[in-house]
Amino acid sequence: MTTSISIFDTTLRDGTQGEGISLSADDKLKIAQKLDALGVHYIEGGNPGSNSKDIEFFQRVKSFKLNAKITAFGSTRRKNSLAEQDSSLVRIAESGVPAATLVGKSWDFHVHTALQTTLEENLSMIYDSIAFLKRNQMEAMFDAEHFFDGYKHNPEYALSALRRAQEAGANWLVLCDTNGGTLPSEIHEIVKRVSLELSAPIGIHTHNDCELAVANSLAAVQAGARQVQGTINGYGERCGNANLCSIIPNLQLKLGYQVLPDEKLRSLTGTARYVSEIANVHMPVGQAFVGNAAFAHKGGIHVSAIMKDSKTYEHIQPELVGNKQRILVSELAGQSNIISKAQELGLDVNANNDKTKKIMDDIKELEHQGYQFEGADASLELLLREAFGGAHKEIFKVESFKILVEKTNGQMISEAIVKINVDGKQVYTAAEGNGPVNALDNALRKALMQFYPDIEHFHLSDYKVRVIDEKDATAAKVRVLVESTGLDNSWSTVGVSNNVIEASWEALVDSIRYALLKMSKIEGAQPESGSRLGLVNH
């Protein structure tokens, strides 16, 4: 019989302690719904009453029909007091949620230094607080803070903290590697002993200070833990929490545990990227399982092999976690990369096609000039469609643009004037922005809106400028990467020039052309005159 593992998500609580992460009540509610759709079993929403955002979250989440158990967070009662008179515990009981997690001390050093109380009083605090939750008909989880450090220093006291929680009726005893300094072998050994000595089910909560949070969580499960706590994308204080986006597929696909239904697991990548977008934190492209480059292939030998059988360079099928295989095209590419990418787009191409050799040479030359297509799939697709698409339809043609920048009353104002041609109709428009690139973006969109109203459904989500030739100082060539979001997807485009405005404009135009191509389903749209391929001379 397959062993089931419960997933406890603390993105909304522990995850928000990560540097640069701040979620509004609306953000937390959106993420909670996404986590519920993923199929996690517990969603820790925060501490009821600790701040206005958490208060609002717990009030509003009651109206949502979620399958996951919304869980409140708090700590054991104050020393030398009563649980019934502890305002934090009372607010948890009154919050209306079915479950709560209470953190308590299990390391004698912390009892003496942080709490400044006796070891026996700390055990009473644990017992009284868990018992209070149980009297209020709540599922109670005891997070034994610093458990592994405490165990290594004084194992009997660390175990006594767990025993008191168990005696009070705790449903889960969660062992926390709070400082993130324990090794997987130690985790396995300690969890094994705890599992043998106590009857309550064990959970694991690890931090990533040694880059071992995922490995430690897996080791704990193999030693007997049946609940794993972590966050989406590993968000959390210092170096972060255990990354559920790696833990879940490793448990299910590698170790054979039952974690999520297969159809839910296929939404993992989408969930990770959605949370990243809401948190306004860009995901590392190389993040395991769900990163944009997790199943990307660049070397020609690799691509040639995966075209024969993807198992040659992929440890799982990317679709199992909702990701996809990507073929990168760059100066390292062979014909296999070009052929695979073009075939992925439904273009007629083969290894003996002269066009293939020419486009490969063109791309290598463009990358020599400073372009980088491995991070700009949309620009690459436009190039390939121009080379292999056959008949072309020009979506729009830019005739000219002008930018005015003025500083008045201490404020910088940018205005862009754009002249384009759409199906023989000339459009002349102007728009302001908070900078020249924003003004250009606004003006171009304004000009196209009457022809393509769906353009309002996507937006620029990231903008990066990279100096290519640093020795040339302010006259250096720059590469601009623009990421846009919409169409239930995101895409990136690239522009290169000695003029940052021209490079930005090139990337912006590609971004909009790509979106219109997808929305209008116009096959093989031709780049405007002066496209990158026109820059390469043979």
Round to whole Å and give the CA distance between 204 and 173: 8
User: Which residue, among 190, 187, 244, has the nearest Cα to 10 in the 3D structure?
Assistant: 244
The pLDDT, as a whole number, for residue 439 is 92
The pLDDT, as a whole number, for residue 336 is 60
In a domain, 289, yes or no: no
The pLDDT, as a whole number, for residue 372 is 73
Q: Which of 369, 384, 419 is the last residue of a domain?
A: 369
Q: Which of 236, 260, 284 is the last residue of a domain?
A: 260
User: Does 477 lie in the same domain as 344?
Assistant: no
What pTM, to 2 d.p., does this model score?
Answer: 0.71
Q: Which of 369, 389, 405 is the last residue of a domain?
A: 369
In a domain, 104, yes or no: yes
Round to whole Å and give the CA distance between 463 and 495: 11
**Average pLDDT per 10 consecutive residues for the chain, totaling 538 residues:** 94 95 92 97 93 92 95 96 95 96 97 96 98 98 98 98 98 98 98 97 98 98 98 97 98 98 95 87 90 82 78 92 78 58 68 70 79 77 76 75 88 91 90 90 90 84 78 73 79 90 92 83 44 46
User: Does 402 lie in the same domain as 355?
Assistant: no
User: Does 109 lie in the same domain as 32?
Assistant: yes
Its domain, for residue 20, covers 6-260
In a domain, 423, yes or no: yes
- Domain harbouring 436, CATH code: 3.30.160.270
In a domain, 379, yes or no: no
Q: Quickly count helices (H) and strands (E) in the chain.
A: 19, 16
User: Does 489 lie in the same domain as 349?
Assistant: no
> Which position has the token pair 């009297």?
135
Total residue length of the chain = 538
User: Does 228 lie in the same domain as 126?
Assistant: yes
In a domain, 271, yes or no: no
User: Does 232 lie in the same domain as 156?
Assistant: yes
User: Does 422 lie in the same domain as 529?
Assistant: yes
Q: Which residues of 458-491 are buried (b: 16+ CB within 10 A; e: fewer)?
A: bebbebeeeebeeeeeeeebbbbbbbbbbeeebb
In a domain, 311, yes or no: yes
The pLDDT, as a whole number, for residue 338 is 66
User: Does 207 lie in the same domain as 131?
Assistant: yes
In a domain, 266, yes or no: no
User: Does 75 lie in the same domain as 135?
Assistant: yes
In a domain, 276, yes or no: no
Number of domains in the chain: 3
Rounded to 5 degrees, what are φ and ψ at 174? -100, 120
User: Does 54 lie in the same domain as 152?
Assistant: yes
- Domain harbouring 194, CATH code: 3.20.20.70
User: Does 531 lie in the same domain as 409?
Assistant: yes
User: Does 157 lie in the same domain as 300?
Assistant: no
